[in-house]
Amino acid sequence: MAGDQGAGGGVSGPGGARADAPHPNPLPVNGERGPHAAAPIISLIAAVARNGAIGARGGLPWRLSSDLKRFKALTMGKPLVMGRKTYESVGRPLPGRRVIVVTGDSAWIRPGAEVVHSLHAALQRVADAPEIIIGGGGEIYAQALPLASRLYLTEVDLAPEADVRFPVFDRSEWREVRRELGVRGPKDEADFAFVDYQRR
């Protein structure tokens, strides 16, 4: 679905950051259970090149129709958290998903988007959901990665120039639970694989 395209990942956008940057821990991590109910699963979804690239000049460094279809399938019916630049790169609301946009701009408003001013606020707003999807961009991925228990990655067989990269993560902390070699279609500009990771 072309309308789901953003600046990196499935819908990631500009704004790289270190994954180990300090941040508050807004929710129990990795689906830990409290006294009454399980915390939501926090999942990151992104298309990532061999060199970590996810975005360039406010858009994706490739065209992968198959990845956009997967993004839609995995996010449909779930809350989707993204940064302002990512939302603007998408360009319109995403039907069937509750979209929460994180921005420091107190005057920013868009139809179909709920606006908050921190990742903490975004996660608290949808804390009753079974799974929260993080769709980028780089800064939001970096803040959310320590809280995540799942990664839905499309590994893209390219190494393009980019100004946004997926945060580096310690693969020893993650277990690959699924890998599907993608079937390259006429609207796919590179080979790719769909890979799911679960935190150990």
Q: Which domains does the chain have, with CATH numbers?
A: 2-17+39-199 (3.40.430.10)
Residue 8 sits at φ, ψ, to 5 deg, of: 115, 150
Mean pLDDT by 10 residues, the chain (200 residues): 44 41 45 63 98 94 97 98 94 93 95 96 98 97 98 98 96 98 97 98
Among 182, 129, 130, 173, CA closest to 151: 173
For residue 91, the model assigns a pLDDT of 83
For residue 26, the model assigns a pLDDT of 45
pTM recorded for the entire structure: 0.83
Among 96, 122, 154, CA closest to 42: 122
Structure tokens of 166?
Answer: 């997926």
For residue 17, the model assigns a pLDDT of 40
CB 101, CB 110: distance < 8 Å: yes
Q: Where are the alpha helices (DSSP H) in the chain?
A: 65-75, 84-90, 119-125, 138-144
For residue 13, the model assigns a pLDDT of 39
For residue 38, the model assigns a pLDDT of 82
